[in-house]
Amino acid sequence: MTHQRIARIVSVGSSVPERIVTNKDLEKILDTSDEWIATRTGIRQRHVFAPGDTARAYELGGKAALAALSSAHRSPQDVDGIICATFSPDFFFPSTACKIQQYIGNSRACAFDVSAACAGFVYALSIADAMIVSGQCKRMLVVGAEVTSRTVDWTDRGTCILFGDGAGAVLLEEYAGGDRGILATYLNSNGALGDILYLPAWGEKRFMKMNGNEVYKHAVRLMVEATELCLAKAGLSIDMVDLLIPHQANIRIINAIAKHMNLPSEKVVTNLDRYGNTSSASIPLALEDAWKDGRIKDGTVAVFTSLGGGLAWGSAVVRF
Ligand code: UT7
C-alpha cells in the first residue's frame, strides 16, 4: 500500500536571550504591578535583550534552527527550504530567513519571510506543509524569530509588559509512512481590523499600538472557530485532541479557548509565565517544553492556534 506524501515535524529547537526582566523589574520603570500583570495576563517574566544590545533576530532564529537540526541529527545542508515568520526583522531585505540560511551554513535552500505577526508560525507552517506535500521541498525549517523589545514603547504599560524576545524552529520532513504529520491547516485574515493592532514601518513613532480589549474579544472567538474548522478538515473531533498548543498572549484568552472547547487544563500547554508573548516564536517555544517533558509521544495529536495583527489567524492539526 502506498501512502500519500505528508509533512512531518521531526524536531524543535529554541533560543532566547539570557537577560530576564521580571514583573517586579517593570514596577521600577512603569506605573504597574506584579499583581496586575500576573492576574490580567499570567506573565511573570520575559527574556529580553538589554536596550542597545546589537543582537539580531536572525541570530536567535539561527540558533533555534541549529538546535532543531541537531536534535534530529541533520546537518544544515540537508535543508532545502527555510521560512521565517517575524514582525521584527533586522532588515526589510535580505529576509530574516536568508540571514538564517547564511548563519547556519546552508547554500541550497530557498528562503523567505512570512508577515502575519503573532499568527506567523501557523502561516509559515501551513506554507511549508504545502511545499512539502506538492513535492517542491523535502526538508524545511520553519522558524519564528522575534526581537519584540525593539518594537514596543517602553513607556506604554498597555503593551510593553506583554512581550518577550525569542525564537523557535521546527524541522519538517517529507514522510510517506502513514498518518503521522500535519493533518490539516486553516488560515484566515480580516484586514478591516488592521487598526486594532499595528506597527508602523515609517514615521517618527515606530512602536506597536494595540487596542487590547478589542484584540482580546476577537482572539477567543476566532481561535476557537479556526480550531473547530481545522479539526473538521482533518476529520477529527475535539475529544481526539491530546494537546492544545496555543499562541501565548494571555492566560485568560487561553483558558477561555480551552473552556469553549471543553479541554481540561492538563491538555493545554502554557509557558507564557516564563516567556511572555514572543509572537511567532511562542508556539514552537511551547511545543519544545511539551516535547522535553514527555507530553509529545508517538501518535500524540496536537492543535496549534494563533492570532495576531492583520488581523491574521489560523490553526494546524498535527499527529506526532
Ligand atoms: O499576540 C497578539 C495578540 N494580542 C493579544 O492577544 C492581547 C489581547 N489583549 C489582552 O491580553 C488584554 O486586553 C491586556 C492584557 C492587554 C489588557 O488587559 P485588560 O484586562 O483588557 O485591561 P484593560 O486594557 O481593560 O485595562 C484595565 C485597567 C485600565 O485602567 P482603568 O481605565 O480601568 O483605570 C488600564 O489603564 O488597567 C490599566 N492598565 C494597567 N494597570 C497596571 C493597563 N495596563 C496596565 C498595567 N499595569 N500594565
Regarding predicted confidence, which is higher, 201 or 3? 201
Q: Which of 186, 170, 169, 135 is nearest to 6 (CA)?
A: 135
Q: Is 271 a catalytic residue?
A: no
Mean pLDDT of the chain: 97
* pLDDT number for residue 178: 80
pLDDT at 308 exceeding the cut of 80: yes
Q: Is 118 a catalytic residue?
A: yes
pLDDT in tens, 66-99: 999 999 999 999 999 999 999 999 999 999 999 9
Predicted model pTM: 0.97
Give 289's pLDDT tier (boundaries 50, 70, 90).
Answer: very high
Pocket residues for ligand 1 (CB within 6 Å)? 32, 36-37, 40-41, 118, 157-158, 161, 212-213, 215-216, 219, 249-250, 253, 277, 308
pLDDT in tens, 216-247: 999 999 999 999 999 999 999 999 999 999 99
Q: Is 98 a catalytic residue?
A: no
pLDDT in tens, 261-282: 999 999 999 999 999 999 999 9
- Give me the mean pLDDT over the 28-33 stretch: 96
Q: Which grid cell sits at 202?
A: 515609517
* pLDDT number for residue 2: 54
pLDDT at 298 exceeding the cut of 60: yes
Residues of the chain with CATH 3.40.47.10: 6-175, 181-319
pLDDT at 1 exceeding the cut of 70: no
- Phi, psi at 307, each rounded to 5°: -145, 140
Where are the strands (E) in 176-300, listed by range? 181-189, 197-198, 209-210, 243-246
Distance, C-alpha 192 to centroid of its chain:
23
CATH code reported for the domain at 6-175: 3.40.47.10
For every residue of 109-159, which 3-state class applies, written as one string?
Answer: CEEEEECCHHHHHHHHHHHHHHHHHCCCCCEEEEEEEECHHHCCCCCCCCC
At residue 184's C-alpha, the angle toward residues 180 and 189, to 5°, is 150
CATH class, domain 181-319, is: alpha beta
Query: Rounded to whole angstroms, how far apart are CA atoms 112 and 264?
Result: 38
Query: Rounded to whole angstroms, how far apart are CA atoms 60 and 64?
Result: 6
Tell me the CA–centroid distance for residue 130 and ligand 1, in Å: 37
Return all residues near 314 (Cβ < 8 A) that are at least 6 apart: 119, 122, 123, 126, 185, 186, 187, 188, 226, 230, 305, 306
Least-confidence region, from 76-85, 162-171, 202-211, 248-257: 202-211
Q: What percent of the chain has pLDDT above 90?
A: 96
Return all residues near 94 (Cβ < 8 A) that are at least 6 apart: none
Instruction: Choose, from 84, 118, 137, 160, the residue flagged as catalytic.
Output: 118
Residue 61 · residue 169 · CB < 8 Å = yes
Q: How many CA atoms lie within 13 A of 313 on its CB side?
A: 24
Tell me the CA–centroid distance for residue 212 and ligand 1, in Å: 6
* Ligand 1 atom nearest residue 309's Cα: 2
Give 3's pLDDT tier (boundaries 50, 70, 90).
Answer: low
pLDDT in tens, 118-162: 999 999 999 999 999 999 999 999 999 999 999 999 999 999 999
Amino acid identity, position 170 = V
